[in-house]
Amino acid sequence: MITKIYNIKSFITYDTSIKDVAIKKLDSILLKDDHIYKINYNYNNNNDKIDNQIDAKNNIITPGFIDSHTHMIFSSHRANDFSKRISGKTYLDIAKSGGGIKSSINSLRNSSKDELFNKCKKQISYFIKNGTTTVEAKSGYGLTLQDEIKSLEVIRELNDLTDIDLVPTFMGAHDFPNEIKEKSSYVDLICNEMIPEISSKKLAEFCDVFCENNYFDHKQTLKIAESAKKYDLKMKLHADEFEDSNAAYLAGEIKAISADHLMKSNLNGLKNMAKNNVIATLLPATTLFLGMNTYASGKMIIESGCEVAIASDYNPGSSTIYSLPLVMALSCLYCGLSINEAFKAITYNAAKSINRENSIGLIKEGYSADILFWEIDNLNEIPYWFNSDRLSAVMKKGKLILKNNIN
């Protein structure tokens, strides 16, 4: 089926040929089923048989946004942690007292798969309302083989049964479970049981490790990375969030697809990431939500040679923010990104960080018809009006999944 989108003010996309964000005038865009079939810049080029038409009502259109780092598979909130932080406790203080990740582990383990699915399904609409059409989703609140598989099966079912794409990441190395006293024993469990079983069931594309002091050290991270590589899982790292543990450098050594957080990373580590084409994913919403001022230096990271993505880090404890327009604004205000850099970071570079830059993240012929319709005059307004009320419609794979002012 051919669908014509017409009456478009302009479209905004990163353009790989000029290596910058481009604003282009056009007559119409033709969709063929779920992908962009033809971009008509001239009215006289419209010779195709049209089955359906969508009036864009003089809106600007952009690619759908890509949230490349979330922990959306959780069973209960951690509002008590928020209260403790307000009273002066740090993230690490709360974790050591039984809150933090461990409280999320307990609640997820006590939830059936159906209960977990129904709770997580409600969150999909939050992402859609803010223009997100693809979400990377991590496990990591189970920390047993059974509960990690349960989490990843929920991600698979959400991907199959909801309107957006979910990209699965195994993160058994999120913390150490209380019931296993020797850290080396848990690392062995991840490498010898979890990764092989998850790979055999094709439940994950990526493997992520919380490489941080008091969590997984370099030796443990390397062992997990070697196992992941053996079973065809691409690596990601949580790196240098609270201290400079040289995790950014390690991300380069293992050729991770991305290293995320990076608030404390040193320049040498960042240069090693750039050398090995590791995407640097900034998560400023986490810094805001934790009440900290240690925002990652986007300027230093870009000057090191790294490509930068930004993401929400949506999770129950340290970032309940799922709005990528807000994350875009935070990255400009506090990380030093320009608006063009931030836009590229939630579209094309975000796609690169989940190995999908050849199918999503651009308005381009052959790409998935993931399209946002904006009632704005220019790109500056997306982070400026970071609430979703300027978003007229959301399209995923050629289907309108949110209709505010476009039908």
Position 101 scores a pLDDT of 83
Would you say residue 383 has pLDDT above 90? yes
Position 99 scores a pLDDT of 80
Position 43 scores a pLDDT of 67
pLDDT above 70 covers what percent of the chain? Answer: 99
- Amino acid, single-letter form, for residue 79: A
Yes or no: say if 386 and 329 are a contact pair by the CB < 8 Å rule.
Answer: yes
Position 389 scores a pLDDT of 82
| Confidence band of 388 (pLDDT split at 50, 70, 90) | low
Position 95 scores a pLDDT of 79
Position 405 scores a pLDDT of 85
How many angstroms separate the CA atoms of 309 and 14, rounded? 13
What integer best gives the mean pLDDT of the chain?
Answer: 95
Instruction: List the domain boundaries for the chain.
Output: 2-63+362-403, 65-352
Identify the bridge partners of residue 35 per DSSP, sorted by sequence position.
32, 368
CA distances from 198 to 175, 180, 202 (A): 18, 20, 6
Position 100 scores a pLDDT of 81
Residue with tokens 């590589």: 229
CATH second-level architecture of 2-63+362-403?
Roll (2.30)
Of 47, 59, 71, 51, nearest to 6 by C-alpha is 59
Tell me the average pLDDT across 108-113: 96
Position 6 scores a pLDDT of 95
- State the helix-helix crossing angle for 113-129 and 145-161, rounded to 10 degrees: 50
Strand duo 2-15 + 52-63: pairing: parallel
Identify the bridge partners of residue 389 per DSSP, sorted by sequence position.
none
pLDDT tens digits for 38-85?
Answer: 999 876 666 788 999 999 999 999 999 999 999 999 998 888 888 888
Pick the CATH number of 65-352 from 3.40.50.10440, 3.30.70.380, 3.20.20.140, 1.10.8.60: 3.20.20.140
- Amino acid, single-letter form, for residue 205: E
Q: DSSP H helical segments within 20-100, as ranges?
A: 79-86, 91-96
Of 276, 278, 275, nearest to 308 by C-alpha is 278
| Range from 90-99, 260-269, 270-279, 316-325 carrying the lowest mean pLDDT | 90-99
CA distances from 395 to 10, 38, 168, 382, 401 (A): 16, 16, 22, 17, 6
| Confidence band of 332 (pLDDT split at 50, 70, 90) | very high
Residue 21 phi, psi dihedral angles, 5° rounding:
-75, 135
| Range from 81-85, 212-216, 374-378 carrying the lowest mean pLDDT | 81-85
Would you say residue 221 has pLDDT above 70? yes
pLDDT tens digits for 306-320?
Answer: 999 999 999 998 899
HEC sequence for 43-65: HHHCCCCCCEEEEEEEEEEEECE
Q: How many residues does the chain have?
A: 407
Yes or no: say if 222 and 247 are a contact pair by the CB < 8 Å rule.
Answer: no
pLDDT tens digits for 169-209?
Answer: 999 999 999 999 999 999 999 999 999 999 999 999 999 99
Tell me the average pLDDT across 82-97: 83
How many angstroms separate the CA atoms of 389 and 386, rounded? 8
What pTM value is reported for the model?
0.96
